[in-house]
Structure 1
């Protein structure tokens, strides 16, 4: 990485493969602090299982929370950290807008897998500028159910998903490329990239936050999967806004 984001070589890798693994985006100490913040959050709000329908009957668990920046100011600061936004602007352009955030904790021994899928069906956009940054707050080796990807699959465009989980059975999870990560690493990927993750069979939790971002000029094809923080500018400006209105006037 350069001081302002990705190198030309890294951008070329992303364009070819649909993802880029940034090692050490955060220091181990920062990652540990965010990990503690995530687990403290769960203690405050309780567990909220997000296990996918296709594996819900297998005794798996997946703790999650959306819009974590409304739960802790630590995550608000993370969203505008220039290390994060520098990579995002290298991939999206100068203007980067938040779509939503999610925290995921895969508990030990029974942390739920994610079948292979694209994020596209959940929030399709006209220009496909949407990217996700998965930031790791603890180590994620393969036995913890690390991210797995099908490199280059983003070039196939939107694929026809199957079932409630929008999964893609033509891409077996076991055949996908594992991307083991260290605490502080981040993986940025296109929302067209086919990806998933395995079961956490280790003795430790796997803790991550996902930040979904887009170009504010990229129009959604369907208005769904909204969030309280949607529209927050993380870098640059929103060129689509018209004249100023009070927030309460818009809902009148």
Structure 2
């Protein structure tokens, strides 16, 4: 249990919240990073941006994304493997959890000129290999400064790459997409098959968020995957080829 305003707050997801995630494709986590941790993360992020520490993504000669967070220092690794994230994720992924190095693993700093990820998209191509994406908001996000938008339940839709009627699909996205405003320190977990996008920042300020991907340990993979880091539990192998 965590304390919030003197009250006890569950660090886990209730069954009803798990059901909401399965049905809608997203859920706000009951936990959040303290403002002290948010400040510590932002300080290191801005230092990395000022020093242009690679790998980075630029737009109009301005750094808008820093990647490979896991290798950027202790504050990132501790945040990625924190109880605030992993305790609720256990209800979605089980007790053996890996952090994905080659999907997400980055911070975006968006301003009025940013155009990355504004188009509705999915983070993975097929439901059999989906991950849980955790969006950690390091600044307050609103409709005005480009909060995350999602299409509830769209993770149940078929393969969109081969969807015959793209115009109809775009109409669905436009009509059913909803904004999800969040405060600094709060976290949103989404099924990576859900259709989502960043909103356009229409303010003179910034919108900073950290995007992380998690997967349950693959019990049929006999060797360690160099693109995965075990952050909770253990790696197990249950293939019947050894029996």
Q: TM-score range by the shorter chain?
A: 0.7 to 0.9
C-alpha spacing 1:196/1:81, structure 2 compared with 1 (3 Å): same
Q: Report the Cα distance in structure 2 between the residues aligned to 1:91 and 1:157, rounded to whole angstroms.
A: 22
Do 2:145 and 2:201's aligned partners in 1 also have CA atoms closer than 8 Å?
Answer: yes
Q: Give matches, 1:213-252, under 5 Å.
A: 213-217=214-218, 230-240=227-237
Deviations 1:111-167 (Å, cap 9, x if unpaired)? 22521011113xx57353x110000111111111110000011122442269xxxxx
Do 2:144 and 2:202's aligned partners in 1 also have CA atoms closer than 8 Å?
Answer: yes
Q: Give matches, 1:26-175, under 5 Å.
A: 26-45=33-52, 48-49=56-57, 63-100=64-101, 101-106=105-110, 108-114=111-117, 115-121=119-125, 124=126, 126-128=128-130, 130-160=131-161, 169-172=170-173, 175=176
TM-superposed CA distance for 1:24, in Å, is 5.3
Deviations 1:200-234 (Å, cap 9, x if unpaired)? 121211111111111121779xxxxxx97x22111
C-alpha spacing 1:161/1:67, structure 2 compared with 1 (3 Å): farther
C-alpha spacing 1:4/1:21, structure 2 compared with 1 (3 Å): closer
**Secondary structure at 2:88's aligned position in 1?**
helix
Q: Would you say how many aligned residue pairs link Structure 1 and Structure 2?
A: 219
TM-score (norm 1): 0.76
Higher strand share: 2
C-alpha spacing 1:159/1:105, structure 2 compared with 1 (3 Å): same
* Runs of at least 5 residues in structure 1 that lack an aligned partner in the other structure: 52-58, 163-167, 221-226, 243-252
Q: Report the Cα distance in structure 2 between the residues aligned to 1:171 and 1:238, rounded to whole angstroms.
A: 40
Q: Give matches, 1:175-194, under 5 Å.
A: 175-194=176-195
Deviates more, 1:16-25 or 1:131-140: 16-25
Q: Report the Cα distance in structure 2 between the residues aligned to 1:200 and 1:161, rounded to whole angstroms.
A: 31
**Secondary structure at 1:63's aligned position in 2?**
strand
Do 1:5 and 1:83's aligned partners in 2 also have CA atoms closer than 8 Å?
Answer: no
Do 2:10 and 2:30's aligned partners in 1 also have CA atoms closer than 8 Å?
Answer: no
TM-score (norm 2): 0.79
Across the aligned residues of Structure 1 and Structure 2, the Cα RMSD in angstroms comes to 2.9
TM-superposed CA distance for 1:240, in Å, is 3.3
